[in-house]
Structure 1
């Protein structure tokens, strides 16, 4: 699928999502906008970060943004990082219903849409997560669709590995396109994903080998009719 780089925007919920799920659209000059790329509150250590051995979530986010820039550079995409802290850093009910003390406010769909507006208004083609597997993906999808109902939704890997979903969660009336990356593109995808070293071990522990081009060489899109 050829993309007009100057007018294509790929929106992701988290750093690494788009490279893993929609690399076929990440051609040179395409904007890669990650919503939940902001810093955690000062002194806050997220539960997921802690489980992966991080001692500081602030340092971990610095590391992850550097990883994203390196991955985008390999593909020629232009990374854009919005300032919303991701779910593990938010002030919400946690384990046994306890409120995470010191967590960041939970953004609304409309707040996310407002932050995305300038990036999407002039784009000819927009991609967004379909919303499989993670609530952050769902709210980003809904924020994008509030602005651009014509956005193409991509199946969220690795959550949909081995599956062939016919539609995004809670959405009907979209056509399905299965994109098979050519061998060079699939290899470039796994090389870019390998840049996310801080996330690779925990993701592979849950989903198996994610640096195998034969596993990641197929992407699934849902286009508005």
Structure 2
């Protein structure tokens, strides 16, 4: 009885080991920031980055794979090493600070007392790729000045080819995000100055009086009234 129990336990252990060996290891990935330089200026443009919204379908651990028919499947051997949304925030922050050469970049919500020159409101509606599909980024940004006025709004669509492997797909997705920041920095730089006010229009002049056809030109001299001479005088 004891030997039979030992045999069953041994077989279960062997089967468990076989299952562990046959299961492929999971590889973890992070977006590539591209090694941006550290901005030197501590008095550069003050930028509030956010809110940055990411599409709901990207809020998962597994690396999604876009299929030729447009459907999405989860990669069984590839996962994100953490929150994809947090990775996107850090990539955008570091790349934008480097391109603007400013240390004064803050992720939303900002700390009390921080008054931004520009606020970036960004929405990422697509960021994916597949073994046979390029990395695709769809996004929209809105730029607000320090008075809260909308100064720029743009819809972006970017694509980047890759070699098909998961690692190269992550590289391509990172690259389209860095290209997004490059265009964003170009749009932000002119907004450091307030918008020019439109010149005030002069009030229209009063229309000149039209002269009658028989009216003489030049200054008018008042006519003298005739003196009455038909007055009777009575003497007593």
What TM-score, normalized to structure 1?
0.29
Q: Which one has the largest radius of gyration? A: 2
Question: Larger relative CO (CA 8 A, sep 6+): 1 or 2?
Answer: 1
What TM-score, normalized to structure 2?
0.28
Q: Judging by fraction of residues, say which structure has more strand.
A: 2
